[in-house]
Amino acid sequence: MNTKTRFPEIADIQVYRDQIIKEINNTENKTQYIEKNAEAIYALGLTMYSSVFSLNSAIYNGFSISELDERISLHPEQINVLEKIEENRGLIFSAPTSFGKTFVIFEYIARFRPKNVVLVVPTLALIDEYKRKIINQYRNIFKQYKVYLSIDEDKEYNLEEYNLFLVTHDRVINENIHEIIKNIDFLVIDEVYKLQKDDKDDRVLILNLAYYNLVSISKKYVLLAPFIKGVNNLDKLDDKPFFYGTNYSPVVNEVVEIPIIDDNDRLNKAKSVLKELEGNTLVYFPTVMELNKYIDEMEEGEEQELDVNPILSEFIVWAKHEIHEKWSVLRAMENGYLVHHGQLPLGIRMLELDLFNNTNEKFYYRMLCTATLLEGVNTTAKNIIITKPARGSGNAFDAFDFYNLVGRTGRLFQHYLGKAYYIKGPEDRNYVKGEALKSIEFELTTDSIDIDINNGNYAKHENFVEFLTLLHIDYDTYKEEIGSKCRFSTVLKLYSKYCKNKQSLLAELDKQNRNDSISKLGIIRELYKIVNDKPYKMKLQTFLINKLTYKTIPRLNIRTVVNDAMNWYTHEDINYVIKSAISLKNSYIEFDFYKRIQVVLFFMKCERVEQRLIDVVNEKLMRNIELLYYINSPARKMLKDMGIYEGDIELIIGVIGDDFETVEELQNRIRQVRYRLNDVSIVSKYVIDRFLA
């Protein structure tokens, strides 16, 4: 198929669809308008609107009823995609946010019943979204499947039964799924544009390797993405997947530019635009710091009619004690705003997102957010205000990111027209929707030294061969100990910094070995110099890491950690300290910090550093991380990945045990003892009750 000629053809049809949908949106009597124009609406493939208003549509809908939900009929493009999945072993499928890509995947499973299914998604928020559909919304369809949220390398799974493994990109990277599950009948990887090469991101490399290994053992696989018009160099793959793209959308997204002449006017302009809007509205910020600045500038008592629901009232009381009374998220809530970004604990994000999506809630219809919402999280947003078209402090959006964000607005039968209000500064670019469709290239199909190394083609890379000689190791040892953790360039950087800081690190370890009562903070600071790329606020960051890896019962809460930090770093902004503590706890310590220290320990072994010094790192730091962050505990990890607040996990395990494996087993155990779990936090109560609903 020639995608260059196909997409303009589809775009022409979508223009007419958009026109019809706008007319439906602007018509007071929508039913009358649709009835009058039913044949034209049906001819454009908008069968969800024409429904029973024409004979053709009634016949079509009768023959396209969903196996998942008999109240729903699939639209023609969804039927088309189901056929493409069935016809091809591998399919890369691209469509807009509102297409219903996830629905098609679940529909395929419902119709064809593949035995061993692996669904890979980018975030825990999407894990929750998929999980709710599987165990709640479509429970009768999926009741024969054993559903797993993590992979236990010590367990032997019965692949003759029906199994569904639902994991994040991070879990795929850290858990060698392909070595544990030898046979996959249906593999799905969502947001597959994350396979695009990025030399600065170690996770992209490992995700490409995971893709390669998983596809090799999959009978059928589908890769999902928005706004992709093709993948280059697919011929380099042993088994080339078929590419199919469409821009079919049953809702319309419209961009309204709001020009400003001074970048400093962005937040004030966003506030003035927000005051004029009705309906659920997202306000997008490129960084958490800018989001917090918006909150800081809220006027006291900005909202007087605070109609807070009981759950949120209890949450605010709890969060003041557990997180901090000066936390910006609480200030936002007390002024009628919800907050959603990746640095919030999952359970809190779930609570806020549900409140935002609740059509009966009249007060909390505004949500401040960051790029977390770019990664597939569905909302009921009618509008979005884009305060700045960027992700992070210096990464301007391309058209792909911009329209991916714009696509978060609009919802079938609720908001026919979703609007994005773009605060456009003097240096900001113009965005054209046609440019959002881009060709990408997986790292797997590029000339990548890291792909060569991991596939055994290392001999042609002299610097790699020299490095093996330098460490006095062979290739197999390197691949086993390092290959699945970091890029080679990262390894070289780590080794260079290790050599530079080795003497001070060994001196600190020797001192701690001789005096066990010394705080491990000194170890953390020496290791941080080696493993962290950014020395910004090193003393504060390492102080927080030290506190967050204390092996205490109960574990230290964020409020205690923050207050202890503020006693030593009195000049720091408290919201920066709160943000840093939560961010370190949520992801950095468990993934980047822990993994890179493993590489440093390997360097020490290669150089035959005394085992007593290596043991100091393992016993005073690594064991704590493994215990507190559930590195080797699938049961605890499952509770954490569900959104259970970490401070409640041991209490719950004490009641239900830790020998459950599937989501169904966990659900049954919690249901039986729910009355004994009233002492957990409001966040965990909310997650549990939502899980049992």
236 plus 328 within the same structural domain = no
* Residue 150, domain member (yes or no): no
Which burial class, exposed, middle or buried, applies to 152 when counting CB atoms under 10 A from its CB (0-12, 13-18, 19+)?
A: middle
Token digits of residue 76: 């023609």
421 plus 481 within the same structural domain = no
581 plus 552 within the same structural domain = yes
DSSP output for 370-428: -GGGGSS-----SEEEESSSEETTTEE--HHHHHHHHTTS-BTTTBSEEEEEEEE-TTP
* Residue 200, domain member (yes or no): yes
Positive or negative, the CA dihedral 57, 58, 59, 60 is positive
| Dist CA 362 CA 274 (whole Å) | 16
| Dist CA 164 CA 460 (whole Å) | 41
**Orientation of helix 101-112 relative to helix 76-87, angle to 10°:** 50
Last residue of a domain, one of 435, 469, 496: 435
404 plus 487 within the same structural domain = no
**pLDDT score of 3:** 37
- Count of domains observed in the chain: 4
| Dist CA 305 CA 458 (whole Å) | 66
| Dist CA 444 CA 218 (whole Å) | 17
415 plus 497 within the same structural domain = no
Last residue of a domain, one of 628, 651, 666: 628
| Dist CA 491 CA 484 (whole Å) | 11
Cα-based distances in Å from 59 to 42, 70, 622: 11, 15, 63
Question: What is the Cβ-side half-sphere exposure of residue 438, based on CA atoms within 13 angstroms?
Answer: 16
| Dist CA 500 CA 158 (whole Å) | 49
Token digits of residue 387: 């305060």
Rg (CA), the chain: 26
| Dist CA 664 CA 143 (whole Å) | 9
| Number of neighbours of residue 296 by Cβ within 10 angstroms | 13
Helices H / strands E in the chain, number of each: 33, 17
| Dist CA 332 CA 299 (whole Å) | 11
| Dist CA 478 CA 460 (whole Å) | 16
Tell which residue, 81, 79, 75, 78, has the closest CA to residue 49. Answer: 75
Residue type at position 339: V
281 plus 363 within the same structural domain = yes
239 plus 352 within the same structural domain = no
The 8 Å CB, 24+ separation contacts for 193-201 are: 193/225, 193/228, 193/400, 193/440, 194/122, 194/169, 195/223, 195/440, 195/442, 195/443, 195/444, 196/440, 196/441, 196/442, 196/443, 197/441, 197/442, 197/443, 197/446, 197/448, 198/443, 199/487, 199/489
Give the CATH number, domain containing residue 387.
3.40.50.300
299 plus 423 within the same structural domain = yes
pTM given for the model: 0.88
- The rounded average pLDDT for each run of 10 residues, N- to C-terminus, in the chain (693 residues) is 40 84 89 91 90 86 90 91 95 88 93 94 83 87 89 82 87 68 90 82 83 88 87 80 90 92 92 91 93 84 56 90 93 89 88 83 82 74 92 85 86 79 93 83 85 88 94 92 86 96 96 92 96 88 96 86 96 92 90 93 96 96 93 89 91 94 92 93 94 87
621 plus 551 within the same structural domain = yes
Token digits of residue 318: 């709890």
617 plus 640 within the same structural domain = no
Mapped onto helix, strand or coil, the DSSP state of residue 152 is coil
Angle at Cα 429 formed by Cα 280 and Cα 18, nearest 5°?
50
User: Please, which residues bridge with residue 252 across strands?
Assistant: 417
**pLDDT score of 261:** 94
* Residue 3, domain member (yes or no): no
Positive or negative, the CA dihedral 96, 98, 102, 106 is negative
Contact 661, 151 (CB under 8 A): no
**pLDDT score of 673:** 94
Give the domain extent around 303.
252-435
Last residue of a domain, one of 576, 598, 628: 628
201 plus 90 within the same structural domain = yes
Residues in CB range of 164: below 8 A, 6 or more apart: 117, 118, 119, 134, 142, 145, 146, 147, 148
**pLDDT score of 417:** 86
Residue where the block lists tokens 């770093």: 569
Question: What is the Cβ-side half-sphere exposure of residue 513, based on CA atoms within 13 angstroms?
Answer: 15
* Residue 152, domain member (yes or no): no
Angle at Cα 482 formed by Cα 480 and Cα 488, nearest 5°?
130
Cα end-to-end span (Å), the chain: 45
| Dist CA 417 CA 178 (whole Å) | 43
* Residue 51, domain member (yes or no): no
* Residue 670, domain member (yes or no): yes
Token digits of residue 650: 């041991």
User: Please, which residues bridge with residue 94 across strands?
Assistant: 225, 245
* Residue 16, domain member (yes or no): no
430 plus 535 within the same structural domain = no
* Residue 82, domain member (yes or no): yes
